[in-house]
Chain A
Amino acid sequence: MMNINMYEVSETNKMIEHENLDVRTITLGISLLDCMDSNLEVLNRKIYEKITTVAKNLVSTGQEIEKEFGIPIVNKRISITPIALIGGSACKSPEDFVTIARTLDRAAKEVGVNFIGGYSALVSKGMTPGDENLIRSIPQALAETERICSSVNVGSTKAGINMDAVRLCGQIVKATAEATKERDSLGCAKLVIFCNAPDDNPFMAGAFLGVTEADAVINVGVSGPGVVKKAIEAVRGKGFEELCETIKKTAFKVTRVGQLVAGEASKRLGIPFGIVDLSLAPTPAVGDSVAEILEEIGLERVGAPGTTAALAMLNDQVKKGGVMASSYVGGLSGAFIPVSEDQGMIDAVRQGALTLEKLEAMTCVCSVGLDMIAIPGKTPASTISGMIADEMAIGMVNQKTTAVRLIPVIGKEVGDTAEFGGLLGYAPVIPVNEFGCGAFIDRQGRIPAPIHSFKN
């Protein structure tokens, strides 16, 4: 094989140094199924022991890989089996579940990961008492812990939408906002409501390890909006063919780095490799924005007419380029469009170019959903449930993952800014349609699965 040349070396290093190329996360999935116990104290001890044993070397191994390959690995994280299943037998009340949240937080701190995801319940068709207790414990759990991420899957293409869970989740989002109101309702930034949630997603806040997964598994999430933006600057004014080819080639290169890191981490930790998630994940850093890619494609501001089409194209090319670069692709794999974590999106909201309705349209063609959007704190729980239901319907009908991570910022109005800090960024509070949907949300039961789910 021909030796690597100087041009190639400098291209890679330029991506890393100037265009924010990084591996966004190595997420170690840990199954807690073997920790189940009917005694709460024993359960907590087993959970703590399993996590701190399996993940003992995760952070140091990540740091070694970073140094040897010269590629930043921004986050080292853990995803676990949904806690509603693990605690179902031992936990008789929401408070019992909160003890598990504290244990998880302690374990996360012990092994040095910044987030642990899987304080979750999967209730797309119905809720067990355990599921309901866990969901009701979320506000307190997120208020009392630092590193826990929570998610609830309330719908799927196969099962339909559990509207009882949607109604409850609207109230829970609101209660979480109240419980963390001193920190601009930060708790809600760690709570995701899903439809068709994947079992192997490495990205927070929605990561958990599904029950179909192995005992431990390494999943990796790549990033690289800055690299894509820089690459397509070179084809400004050119046709779609060249534009698409450029995105695909760039996505391929970015994903190969993820695959390499995943393979190395798996080898060094002695834990099987699961998947690489091909998502374009922005950060608030300058030049690390998905919105800027869309603007480079030709939109004056993200949110302008044409945005949905440009995003659909971008999302598809990223997948096409990335798929060949990795032996197993999974997770969410697409472009993320969080508002608070993307400077271009924040600017577009501020200028009135990007509205909630346009964001909803954009979620039809990319992963994941209404993500990191600050809304007025006075928004009623039923309206939040209505927004969740809309997003779940998009996921259910289009056989894709959709999610809602809304932050009703208590005490703030449209025009104010909510500050979350770090990778979570900040967001201008966006207006919400003030017409109600209470009578719709108050109906009991579930929305049946769509006709095209019957593929058998």
Chain B
Amino acid sequence: MEPRARFQAIGRSLPRAGTRRLVAGRGRYVDDIVLPRMVHAAFLRSPYPHARLARVDLTVARAAPGVLAVYAWSDLQDTVRAWQSRSAAFPGLVSPTQTPLADGRCAWQGEPVLMALADTRAAAEDALELAEIEWEELPAAVGLEAALAPQAPAVHPGLANNVAWTKETLGGDPDEAFAKAALVVETQVHLARLTGVTLEPRGLVADWDPAGETLTVHHSHQMPHQMQAHFAEFFGVPAERVRVVVPDVGGGFGLKMHVYPDEIAAIAGAIKLARPVKFIADRLESLASDIHAREHNVRARMALDGEGHIVGFDVDQRHGAGAYSVFPRGSPVESSAALHLVGAPYRFAHFRGRLTIALQNKAMTGQYRSVGHPIAVLVTERLVELAACARGEDGLALRRRNFTPPGETPYVNGAGQRLFDVSHDACLLALERLVDVPRVRETVRSARAAGRALGFGVACYVEMTATGAEAYGKAGVPVSAADSVSLSVELSGAVRCAASVTEIGQGVTQALAQAVADGVGVPVERVLVHTGDTAQVPHGGGAWASRGAAIGAEAAWLAARRLRRNILEAAARLLGADDESLDLRDGTIVDHRGEARLELSELAHIAAFRGYELPEGFQPQLSLMHHYRRSKDLFLPANGVQASLLEVDLHTGLVRPLRHWAVCDCGRVLNPLLVEEQLRGGVVQGIGEALYEELRYGEDGHLETGTLAEYLVPMAAEMPDIEVAHVQTPYDGTSLGAKGAGEAGVAAAPAAILNAVNDALAPHGAALDAVPISPAAVLEALERGR
């Protein structure tokens, strides 16, 4: 590894270069794309959670004005193949074949049944109202426990039961650990279904050129290269003739990582009609058919010895997957991650984890920002507070006693998590300084004396970031953990960068620009970064698992260092100097005294137009491509701690967050502003999970929260100020030392809020174990506490 370079741009809070354009309304999202002869897709979706299509008559619908086609699955079978969610990571996973439009039967409310293609979206919707369908309702399995009950209706015909997957993990000797424990605390945590609610919904414009046999899909998505592989396979088009272009994206949060049946149907429609097809999910479709997350019931116990050391965990987790396992990554990813992350901040040797995943006649659950972590943190930090309470000690003291030791690296805990470079003590210390804990506790005390119910809660977390190739590579899923970057020196002396990470609104292009600027030695505003086009950027992973800084920026840095060497070599040959004596600073080649010798733009001009000025036979390489895959450490553990101060209205049950604090160690911080805003956004989503967001189905399987009037997202007016501090423990396996930061905000916020609510309710003998915390649940808990 080369010695650390001087950082000028890296570490600075620079605003995102693209923000001004977006704020000025110059963004180009997929719905802004209008192609000649483009038609619009609309879907008729199943109104029932489970029903057979007894009869379908499309005669009248197809004759409606402005309509080009109304398709059922039988019409698309010659164009696209069905798919099945399978993964070597989840052997034995039960998930039947999925089709883009229902194959004679619907297994969840919102499942696409028919697709109309028309001159306008309105005309397409009009046509669907004229489709004649006779439905034959089938019994539905809806609730998580109900779906797993012995007499539950089968989610799909022929299933003996609705178990999609089970797993048991054993570490150490949990039976003995619990038998010998001085203290065992237990909780039963429930997390409701929710979803990511991107500001910009899912959407695409698909364009099939039958002459060139080329498929172009403008796609609001996190992973263009992954989708290129899927589209090639599904439509039988050679992958090099599939181009996926990701324009500006208004948020991904994990829900734009998957293959959605409606999107595949829209592409099939474009191929059949040989006309561009636009499909933009509206908010009703988003809430009903975007990937859902959560719906977990977790029974967990924690054993401690007489000195208050955690010795083990026993976790029994149930998770509702919906009608199928989401393609391609699989619905068990969330619950499996959650199970193994229980207890992650702490040292413990004994573990038993049991996981049961249920199929249900509901939309699929899948990966949402901070996959699984909030569940594990909620379970762990609730248990920690219960234990501290039972021992009559401070929760922070119990945490400190049990933190994974920083010296013992790597530390593998009883659940098999491999932890290194974590800094829980330092983060907690930073939090205590940021919060002024004694003062906040005094605020809580004096408010309580005045009859108000304030509460203070803390949650520590580990966030597994920047996943390595072994995870999906071994599972046989075409999701890359590597990144590639191409760099070229422009004639103007600017550096153009094309990267395989995807900009989805998180600002990763700014982090890359800073890495390239310092790596090469040019001003950051002279670096242009392009992402999101399989025809223009090299292959790589895109946006997932908080990998942008840890993998994408590392690739950019390594590329930049190579380009710098090439530049200095060319300059040395031109100037007849020793390239070791030259340096590139702010776009100028300087000698060892720091005196300017050559502008980078001049070198680029010579290479382009006056190559004869260079020594005979020398070919300067002012553009290059670099590929980077981390070859060790499957995950980079980031860690941190959050705290919440809030007030519970004991009469109405309403919870009002007053302040929130987040301390995060994501290794070297490339751009503090980006990290802080990622954390704040994540905290807000975590507060949403704790207090507001719930996709509620009736017992009959009908979604009751189908609009944003019923599905409550966190709004600015209710959000507290969120104060952020950094601890930096650089990862020593890379040049930059960055770990992931994009999801950490979500990981601990629900637990911090739940702990704070329980702190507020404790003097009244009440406690809660379910999120979101509804005001009715607060009053019921207070009633029970009386």
Co-complex (A, B)? no
